Chain A
Amino acid sequence: MALIQREALDREDPQRRVPIAEAFWWAEEDHGLLGEVGSYNTPKDRHGEYRGGTIGASPAYSFTAHIADLSVDVETGVTTVHKVWVAHDCGQALSRRIVEGQMEGSVYMGFAEAIMEEHVVDPEHNGEHTGPSLLDYRMPTFLDTPDIEALIVEAPDAQGPYGAKEAGEGPLHPIIPAIANGIYDAVGVRIDRLPFSPPRVLAAIQAREAEVAAGHVQPHKTNARRAG
């Protein structure tokens, strides 16, 4: 029997064919659930004694690189991320679609953390959280989210299940420094606190402008192009 184009067909007599789903129903009626149970455990003591070292991490680290294309509005401090390319070495990709989904989700979550999400408690009001709802705790909408291009890099690891490493948190990490570097490249300021919110970026730009005016630092390359 062969499974081709959503149909199960008889190899000897290809005219005998039924939809795949029906073939599986017949098989499960005769043999019970068609399934196999298996498991994979990470090697023990792989990561030593440090805090968090016992979580059963993947035997091999994954590797990720991000490129962020962005612009910074020097009058408002608004950072607009246009596109992110994410290349992730997940070892052998067991399901390319799921790996890509993990990578895109990671970029979205990291981008959100970089640009707008923020947990703030207000010490002047009994430590109340200032963003206790999804209106005041802002997460990016479709309109705010950059285009994302996920590029899977497969370098299988012999220790991992079928050669896989991981595609969980790894693809998230580089997006924050990528955006921070992009802001530095665009306007010459280093922001070392999250999020890179418009007031914070604008304050850094204005502080740098004051330094330039005082002759302490050179004008940044793009300042010459600033709109009037």
Chain B
Amino acid sequence: MLRLPRLDVLMPATLDEAVLALQSPGSRLIAGGTDLLPNLKHRLESPTMLVSLAGVRELSTITVDDDAQELVIGAGATLTTVEQCPQVRAHAPSLCSAAGLVASPLIRNQATLGGNVNLDTRCRYVNQTDFWRSAIGGCIKSEGTVCHVVPGGKNCVAAMSSDCVPVLISLGASLQLVGPNGRRRVAMKDYYVADGTRHTTREDGEVTTAVIVPLVSTPRRAGYSKWTVRGSIDFPLTSVALCFDLERDEVAAPIAGATVVVGVLGAKPRVVTRLDEVVGKSLSDPETAAIVAERVHRQCKPLANVPYEAPYRRQMLRVHTRRAIEALVADG
């Protein structure tokens, strides 16, 4: 049995108290805990005090700000809440799909959106017991100095494995962060960096308080494709978020803009480039799906950081991208 290390837990009632508590050395934020607690049992982090957000009620509201034209989702909203929220479904249906595909129902009842966007990167050589890791001497992200995924590699390539992050980037979302120096807002496409040991630009003392999705008045079709071996529980093995702005509200309409974001590569989600070629083409034109799938396949190179062969997953990116677009077209 894997046990938690001995540590203190603080339950602040307000955000200000939480931010203050995070300034003491050795403290670490915990929300749903579904990512953090297994990592603590695996001895991947060693905080001495957890600052729980469970008592901070102001973080779980979901509102539509009509003036700013934004959907504001409190970071403490559970993934089940996000999946089932009518406002999220109306304005960001692909986020509902992604939230509803994370892990299992029990985990989604506990896990928060703020936790999911800050999900630590994962690697088959890291997310194991410390006993298992000791047999290979650890790695850059744990106790060692080498990388087992990229031999000779100096940079950690643990995989960004959140289902919601690629979708949120594809929707142009930002994060609201609050820290000792006040609040700031950062576009999610700029929030992640290509370093698996520290893959976000969040400062230690900062708390993610909200995920903000801009509302659009123009027609749009957005979707999320996740492939895993099992129908539940697993982290994604391929993960593609797609968002198409259309000139009219029908799938035969020409595309006005396309954003495709791919996860589970390295530590940073990849925003697929050179999609201009499909602008002006109809979404339902099979050539559109073929072009986008080809771009994804060419630009995205999965690594051996998660199970299942990387070349197979790369082939599957092409198939699943094309199928995701076909599904959007079939849904009308």
Chain A contacts for B230, CB-based, 8 A: 116, 138, 140-141, 143-144
Chain B contacts for A144, CB-based, 8 A: 230-231
Inter-chain CA distance A130–B305, complex, in Å, is: 12
Is A132's CB within 8 Å of the partner chain B?
A: yes
A-B contact pairs, 11 of them (CB 8 A): A76-B227, A128-B132, A128-B135, A129-B132, A130-B124, A131-B307, A135-B127, A141-B231, A199-B308, A199-B309, A202-B315
Is A177's CB within 8 Å of the partner chain B?
A: no
* Residues of B125-172 contacting chain A, CB below 8 A: 125, 127-129, 132, 135-136, 148
Inter-chain CA distance A97–B247, complex, in Å, is: 61
Inter-chain CA distance A141–B105, complex, in Å, is: 13
Listed in ascending order, the chain B residues whose CB lies under 8 Å from chain A are 124-125, 127-129, 132, 135-136, 148, 227, 229-234, 307-309, 312, 315-316, 319
Inter-chain CA distance A100–B180, complex, in Å, is: 63
Inter-chain CA distance A31–B231, complex, in Å, is: 54
Contact of A132 among B129, B229, B312 (CB under 8 A): B129
B127: nearest chain-A partner, CB-CB = A135
Which of A132, A140, A199 has most chain B Cβ within 10 Å? A199
Contact across chains for B307 and A136 when beta carbons are under 8 A apart: yes
Inter-chain CA distance A141–B132, complex, in Å, is: 26
Inter-chain CA distance A199–B128, complex, in Å, is: 24
Chain B contacts for A75, CB-based, 8 A: 319
Nearest CB on A from B105, distance (A): 11
Inter-chain CA distance A10–B75, complex, in Å, is: 67
A115: nearest chain-B partner, CB-CB = B229
A136: nearest chain-B partner, CB-CB = B307
Chain B contacts for A142, CB-based, 8 A: 232
| Apart from A132-B128, A143-B231, 12 more pairs, CB < 8 Å | A76-B319, A116-B230, A125-B136, A125-B148, A131-B307, A136-B124, A141-B233, A143-B230, A144-B230, A197-B308, A199-B308, A202-B312
Contact across chains for B229 and A135 when beta carbons are under 8 A apart: no
Nearest CB on B from A116, distance (A): 6
Is A198's CB within 8 Å of the partner chain B?
A: yes
Contact across chains for B307 and A130 when beta carbons are under 8 A apart: yes
A-B pairs with lowest CB-CB distance, top 3: A143-B231, A199-B312, A141-B232
Is A41's CB within 8 Å of the partner chain B?
A: no
Inter-chain CA distance A136–B124, complex, in Å, is: 8
Is A5's CB within 8 Å of the partner chain B?
A: no
Inter-chain CA distance A132–B132, complex, in Å, is: 8
Nearest CB on A from B120, distance (A): 14
